[in-house]
A = this chain, B = another copy of it.
């Protein structure tokens, strides 16, 4: 059977197709935003994301600055933490983690009758090295994180990627970020998810990678 087997050829051809099909739409995005949009479309095969993604002014730059300093990325799912390129993160002294399956977190969540996502993000936010948040699943994690920032218990992070997918609270949770002064990237409405969160961070990470000539 004849099919493209070389991974680099597949990736290059995929991005060519995305650019062709985006057409004029691609011109609406800046040179730092377009790679993010294209990577999300690459991951989802869903061009609607070009209309749904919203990137706050300076969010990409804020994330790039943070990446240069090293730190931790909190992910609200294990899928995100495992999906990020460990090799690339290692180069910047970054690590990604999730507490959603942590035993203590699960026990506390059960006791309090709240989601593990709420308890997980509370624990993560206490760690001053955690300055990037990738929320791809739980609106409750995003609501709680915003509460903690608003109350001053947690300092403003370098970036919140707020892309919970779903039908209960997902769309609403993302609406709390615009106007908050927090650097953010969101997907408006119900769509999003763990692979979308991963691809957004990769869309930023690979820009740095490229600039530094790796």
Binding site for B on A (CB under 8 A): 1, 3-7, 10, 13-14, 17-18, 42-46, 78-79, 82-83, 113-116, 118, 139-140, 143, 146-147, 165-170, 172-173, 189-195
8 A-B pairs with CB atoms under 8 Å apart are: A5-B113, A5-B114, A10-B169, A13-B167, A14-B166, A17-B167, A45-B165, A45-B190
User: In the assembly, what is the distance between CA of A35 and CA of B6, in Å?
Assistant: 37
User: In the assembly, what is the distance between CA of A3 and CA of B166, in Å?
Assistant: 14
By the criterion CB–CB under 8 Å, are B79 and A6 in contact?
no
* Chain B residues in 8 Å Cβ range of A194: 79, 83, 194-195
* Chain B residues in 8 Å Cβ range of A116: 7
16 more contacts with CB within 8 A, not counting A10-B169, A45-B166, A45-B190, are: A1-B147, A3-B169, A3-B172, A3-B173, A4-B140, A5-B114, A5-B115, A42-B167, A43-B193, A44-B193, A45-B189, A45-B192, A46-B46, A46-B191, A194-B194, A194-B195
